[in-house]
Amino acid sequence: MSCKTKREADLEYLLEGRVFDGQSLHENWIVRIDSITGKIVGSGERGSIEEKRGQKIIEQRDTTILPGLIDTHVHFFGSIGSGINEWATTPDALAVLRSVSDLHRLLRAGFTSVRELGTKSGVFLAKAAEEGHFESPRIISCSRALAQTGGDDDPPSYPLEIGQALASYSYFCDGPWECRRAVRKVVRDGGKVVKLYASGGFAQGGKVRLQFTTEEIRAIVDEAHRSGIKVAAHAYGEEALLNAINAGVDSIEHGLGLTPKTARIIKDRGIFYVPTLVTYRKLKPSTNTAREKMIARHFREDMELAKRYSLKVTMGSDIVGDENRPHGRNYEEIAEEAQFLGNREALVAATSRAAECLDLPMVGRIREGFEADVIIVRGNPLKDVEALAPEKVLHVFKSGKLTSNS
């Protein structure tokens, strides 16, 4: 028996129209949202779901209702300039304030969850957002990334201690026991995932170098899994990919240099593959031909292999919050992935599969009992991904609450 007051009934929303539920599309569906519990009360064909007086009805022509978008690879550097020194030397308070604004922008653009893979104040942003101090997507933070001495985020132009003290997003560790201790620091910080560098990247220019050994990665994976959290591995090149996947990581970030051999193991082990394509579109071309070849290959062979082996490709943009990669239009990664996988698969990668990657079992689908992270966009993103552009996002519900400006 319902004993809800009128005010409570007002806090129920009834959305009507075309629905992408995280897997498939349905015409003429209804979705009921309870703002008090923050859950989806029901979804299904018109007539199959109870309608009550007092519910707020949202129905607009040619719109699509879908789960809130999820970006599984972001950073919040809050810097204007880009590059390792700019990221490292932006004062923390300034970076945080800019990041709050970035998070608000992301929420209004339809992103209701993000996985933050290395940011000085990532866990504090996550905590303040969870406490409700500002409107934000849910943040799954790794606190600091784990990197070897001289690794990707260890600015080489400074003396060691100064470089590592300035470093914007890593704990440096060498050898299995230091690596285990670094995981324990992440857990102590409140990190919900571990990020490690199996290779370098392009941040320091030059040749991409192999980083942590398999022994070190195994120690990190074992320690993280003992604490019940997953491991995301930055990996470029076949050897780094093999080191990471053989050590048991849960997701491959970037994954440049995929080969049939590595694709087969990634497939067999159910590892997520996060190609971060949009980042490589945004990087300025360099004179480093090896780097340019690796990037060009990523858009051809790597993605063809990902498709051929049906890898669990997941939406992750590697947008960092600086002038080259500003937050807000992160949906462009979905458009990039759609070119290879098709629109439906790219939408799965940004909703239900992304939630699985983040270990959020009750997020990423429009289904009874799930978290009411729901957005309404103008148009049909299964026909045209541009329907996910921020200017097309009409309403955003995060845990059943309609966000301001939406």
68 vs 118 by CB, closer to Zn ion: 118
Q: Which stretch binds Zn ion (CB under 5 A): 25-33, 100-108, 122-130, 317-325?
A: 317-325
Q: How far is the CB of 341 from Zn ion (least distance, A)?
A: 21
Q: How far is the CB of 318 from Zn ion (least distance, A)?
A: 4
Candidates 102, 250, 318, 356; binder of Zn ion (CB under 5 A) is 318
Q: How far is the CB of 73 from Zn ion (least distance, A)?
A: 6
Q: How many residues bind Zn ion (CB under 5 A)?
A: 1
Q: Which stretch binds Zn ion (CB under 5 A): 35-43, 256-264, 281-289, 312-320?
A: 312-320
Interatomic CA distance for residues 331 and 303, integer angstroms: 18
Q: Which stretch binds Zn ion (CB under 5 A): 124-132, 171-179, 242-250, 310-318?
A: 310-318
Interatomic CA distance for residues 302 and 324, integer angstroms: 24
Q: Is residue 223 a contact residue for Zn ion (CB under 5 A)? A: no
Q: How far is the CB of 370 from Zn ion (least distance, A)?
A: 28
And the tokens for 99?
């990041």
DSSP calls for 180-193: HHHHHHHHHHT-SE
Element (H, E) at 141: strand 138-141
Interatomic CA distance for residues 139 and 154, integer angstroms: 25
Strands 25-34 and 39-45: antiparallel
Q: How far is the CB of 381 from Zn ion (least distance, A)?
A: 25
Which of 190, 200, 109 has the alpha carbon at shortest distance from 151?
A: 200
Whether 224 contacts 204, CB under 8 Å: no
What SS3 class is residue 302?
helix
Residues 261-300, one symbol each (x = binds Zn ion by CB under 5 A, - = not), give ----------------------------------------
Interatomic CA distance for residues 108 and 96, integer angstroms: 18
Q: Which stretch binds Zn ion (CB under 5 A): 5-13, 25-33, 143-151, 313-321?
A: 313-321
- Residue nearest to Zn ion as judged by C-beta position: 318
If you compute the radius of gyration of the chain from its CA atoms, what whole number of angstroms results?
21
Q: How far is the CB of 20 from Zn ion (least distance, A)?
A: 28
And the tokens for 146?
């784990």
Q: Look up residue 210 and give its DSSP letter.
A: B
Interatomic CA distance for residues 240 and 209, integer angstroms: 9
152 vs 373 by CB, closer to Zn ion: 152
Interatomic CA distance for residues 244 and 256, integer angstroms: 13
CA separation (Å) from 332 to 343, 386, 397? 12, 8, 21
Q: Which stretch binds Zn ion (CB under 5 A): 7-15, 307-315, 316-324, 367-375?
A: 316-324
124 vs 236 by CB, closer to Zn ion: 236
Residues lying near Zn ion in the complex (CB under 5 A) are found at 318
